[in-house]
Amino acid sequence: AQYASAVVIPRGITTDPVAFAATNFDFVIVGGGTAGLTVAARLAEESYKVGVIEAGQYRPNDPLIDVPKNFGSTLGNANYDWIYATTPQVNANNRTIIHNRGKVLGGSSAINFEIFNRPAAAEYNAWSALNLGLGGWAWDGLIGFLKKSETFTAPLVEDLFPDISPFKRRQEEVTDEMASIPTSFLDFADSALNLTALDVSSLLDAAGVAETIGATSNATTRRSLVEKRDTPVHGSSGPVKASYNTWYSDITSPFIHTVMNMGIPLNSDPDNGNNIGIYNSQRSVDPSTQTRSYAAPAYYAPSASKANLIVLTGAQATKIVLSSNKDNQGRYTATGVSYSYGGTIYTAKASKEIVLSGGVFNTPQLLELSGIGNPDIVSSFGIQSLIDLPGVGENLQDHPMSPCSFVIKPGHHTWDELRNNATFAAQAGSQYATTKTGILTSTISTLTFTPLQSFLSSSKIISILTSLTSELINNSSKFSLLQWAQYVIQMGWIYNTNVPQVEFVFIPGFQPTGNVAAPSPNTTYAVISPVLQHPFSRGTVHITSADPLVKAAVNPNYLASVFDRTVLVEAIKYIRTLASTAPFSDLVQTFNDPPASVNTDDGFADYMRKALQSLKHPVGTAVIAPRILGGVVDANLLVYGTKNLRVADASTFPMQISAHAQTTTYAIGEKAANIIKNVW
């Protein structure tokens, strides 16, 4: 009684680590980020007592987060960003590459670029195949959770890519002369996967190969586009408010026409599982307030007054406390989470479950700090190895890119005007403040997703496949079973013209590129970024110290595969062709970076290495997969070897997808909450 009177049980946001540790929670969630707040808010709909431990602060009404065009302004600022840097990347001139991760309530959804799009259906279907159909990870199983997390606001026709009819019908013929998937590769994959429950033909089926060309040569596919956005695939009452831009640069329309002139179709309905083509993406921007819609205002704020949801900010989880004994099935019970607050360690208790939502770098770090992972790695830092799970921190997959920039002729309106013209910038500021309209409401939204067949000749693709096949066979002994299963699917995706291999992101304004770190005065730019969607390279995230406050080492192994290097170079070359094609070419004053003097394969490859960056979509370091393949969590997101420790965040993606990561991460949070509610 004396203790109880000294401790006031907090409500809402708390910075009281003692009271938090004294609370008897049903569930403790580590990380109040994109997925973490989704899980927390959904569990708090029931009568459970839910605690969230978040390292960052709650920053409501912060214009650096909220104003849509301010995306990027918080990067590198420790009040918002963990500011990770990779280990030196051999294929990027040994540079370390910055990786931003949100360290604020809302996590990376508070600092991201607000693109809100979805992948190809075949990609989720492959997630399901890797998990033997368990858990409902196919498109049909995930669409409900994608819908549940969003409120879709259909665009006004005149708002959707002005000057370009969204309802224009366009049919595209793709003649495919590629040979069938090399049997040498399939034989190898077959023998590698021997003794697992997976077989090559079911993986290829899930990859959707038969759907387009099968394994036949000279096949012809015809892609047609639906006439309008299909609202049934969208949610109408979910927490995240999505909307379309209403301000566009005048260089956007010529760019779209150029892409279409190059034979890439306009996709008017990219969120229904067919995301091929150029399209106008939704953004996570609330159309009524024209502010960023992210996990804190979307999921946390509406539940903030609930007595059963308590968020401790400014506290970093340091370890999951596991029971000293295993149950009769050999599983540990997670009983609490230790956390550091102001240099002191406390432990919060959870009677039902603990959910890790620390994100793709911090979740594997916390698992290893808790003795869960590769025993060699864990014990080398003096940590007692409790669960032998070698997949922890492996399977890192990202979206690498090497952006290219162009100087645009004077007289055009891009985001550069905010920098070049102080009067315009002041007017834009007051326009936004008074009417919530104008350039400050705008974000990146012109995206192009293509299979290789859209921009490479069949002979080039065949030569890429030949090199890739030799590389895979020659290195076969180094690959995990999970990699083999994934490589079968990825090989299938090269043949499936419904699965994009490259995204081209169009940005109407300056961005730093390989040789140009800062804009020139009074200059207008366009940037086109080629982004690899399905790299064959795999990276790692592992602890380098038993000290939980020391960051884990992030090594994405960028461009380690010949496929990744060749395709990225070809994509950079294709951007040069795009910029030389009318009507966009009429606007281009100079090839800024790479400059016009770069015009050979070797020159473009040099540029690729110099300019390499991340689109900030690392995934897969606590992968959902069968344990025999190297999985970390099962199809119900439960960490193998535990009874009640789950992971819900982007680290669970079984494979990379051709979409920016947030819609899927919210869906994983929604699905995790659903799984947990069904259990309890």
Site membership for ligand FAD, residue 34 (CB under 6 A): yes
Closest among 630, 657, 634 to 132, alpha carbons compared: 634
Per-residue binder mask for ligand FAD (CB under 6 A), 445-484, x = binder? ----------------------------------------
Strand residues in 441-514 grouped as ranges (E): 446-450, 502-507
In the complex, least distance from residue 108 CB atom to ligand FAD, rounded to whole angstroms:
3
Strands (E), 4-138: 12-14, 24-30, 50-54, 84-85, 98-99, 115-116
Asked if 118 is part of the footprint of ligand FAD (rule: CB under 6 A), the reply reads no
Among 551, 617, 646, 671, binds ligand FAD (CB under 6 A): 617
Residue 104 marked ligand-binding: yes
How far is 261 from 278, CA to CA, in rounded Å? 11
CB of 650 to ligand FAD, least distance (A): 3
Residue 338 vs 469, nearer CB to ligand FAD: 338
Give the residue, chosen from 649, 654, 667, 671, that forms a contact with ligand FAD under the rule CB under 6 A.
649
Site for ligand FAD in 167-206 (CB under 6 A): none
Task: Give residue number: closest CB to ligand FAD.
Answer: 33
> Least distance in Å: CB of 664 to ligand FAD?
8
Shortest approach of ligand FAD to residue 479 CB, angstroms? 25
The yes or no reply on residue 33 touching ligand FAD (CB under 6 A) is: yes
Nearer to ligand FAD, 42 or 412 (CB): 42
User: Binding-site residue total for ligand FAD (CB under 6 A)?
Assistant: 40
DSSP per position, 627-678:
GGGT-SB-TT-BBTTBSSEEE-SGGG-SS--SS-SHHHHHHHHHHHHHHHHH
Q: Pattern 96-115, binding to ligand FAD, x per CB under 6 A? A: ----xxxx---xxx-xxxxx
Strand partners, 619: 397
Candidates 7, 64, 75, 98; binder of ligand FAD (CB under 6 A) is: 75
- Report in angstroms how near the CB of residue 416 gets to ligand FAD at its nearest: 20
List the one residue out of 561, 650, 607 whose CA is nearest residue 403.
Answer: 607
One character per residue 657-676, x = contact with ligand FAD (rule: CB under 6 A): ---xxx--x-----------
Judged by beta carbon, residue 35 or residue 40, the one nearer ligand FAD is 35
Smallest separation, CB 520 to ligand FAD (Å): 25
Of 29, 41, 366, 482, the residue at the interface with ligand FAD (CB under 6 A) is: 366
Residue 346's CB is within 10 A of a number of other CB atoms, namely 20
Question: Binding marks (x or -) toward ligand FAD, 394..433, rule CB under 6 A?
Answer: ----------------------------------------
Beta-carbon neighbour count of residue 193 at 10 Å? 18
| Residue spans of beta strands (DSSP E) within 72-196 | 84-85, 98-99, 115-116, 150-152, 171-176
> HSE (CB half, 13 Å, CA atoms) of 470?
6
Binding mask 39-58 for ligand FAD (x = CB under 6 A): --------------xxxx--
Closer Cβ to ligand FAD, 341 or 591, answer by number: 341
Task: Indicate the residue among 268 and 313 with the shorter CB distance to ligand FAD.
Answer: 313
Contacts of 449 (CB under 8 A, 6+ apart): 270, 275, 276, 277, 279, 500, 502, 503, 533, 658
Select from 94-102, 223-231, 300-308, 479-487 the region that touches ligand FAD (CB under 6 A).
Answer: 94-102
- Give the DSSP letter string of 300-324: IGGGTT-TTEEEEES-EEEEEEE-S
556 with 532: CB under 8 angstroms? no
Residues 291-350 interacting with ligand FAD (rule: CB under 6 A): 316-317
Instruction: Please give the single-letter amino acid code of residue 49.
Output: K
- Span of 27-35, 398-406, 477-485, 599-607 interacting with ligand FAD by CB under 6 A: 27-35
Supply the minimum distance, in Å, between the C-beta of residue 106 and ligand FAD: 7
Binding mask 124-163 for ligand FAD (x = CB under 6 A): ----------------------------------------
Dihedral sign from CA coordinates of 265, 268, 274, 276: positive
Alpha-carbon torsion angle 22, 23, 27, 30, nearest 10: -50
Kindly indicate which of the ranges 344-352, 359-367, 399-407, 412-420 contains the residues binding ligand FAD, using the contact rule CB under 6 A: 359-367
Closer of 364 and 594 to ligand FAD (Cβ): 364
**Who contacts 554 (Cβ-Cβ below 8 Å, separation ≥6)?**
84, 85, 86, 87, 99, 361, 396, 539, 541, 618
The total of other beta-carbon atoms located within 10 Å of residue 158's CB is: 10
Query: What is the DSSP secondary structure assignment for residue 233, as one 8-state letter?
Result: G
Catalytic residues: 617, 660
Of the residues 257, 412, 616, 671, which one makes contact with ligand FAD according to CB under 6 A: 616
Let me know if 478 is exposed, middle or buried by CB neighbors in 10 A (0-12, 13-18, 19+): exposed
In this structure, the strands spanning 50-54 and 316-322 are unpaired
Tokens of 191: 């023998």
Q: Which is nearer to ligand FAD, 283 or 331 (CB)?
A: 283
Query: In the numeric block, which tokens belong to residue 377?
Result: 């790695």
Q: Which is nearer to ligand FAD, 339 or 604 (CB)?
A: 339
- Six token digits for residue 552: 């884990």
What's the min distance (Å) between Cβ of 279 and ligand FAD? 14
Tokens describing residue 132: 């033997």
DSSP class per residue in 508-531: SS----SS--SPPTT-EEEEEEEE
| Min dist. Cβ of residue 465 to ligand FAD (A) | 30
- Binding site members for FAD: 104
Site for ligand FAD, rule CB under 6 A: 30-36, 53-56, 75, 100-103, 107-109, 111-115, 316-317, 357-360, 362, 366, 616-617, 649-650, 660-662, 665
**Known binding-site positions:** 104
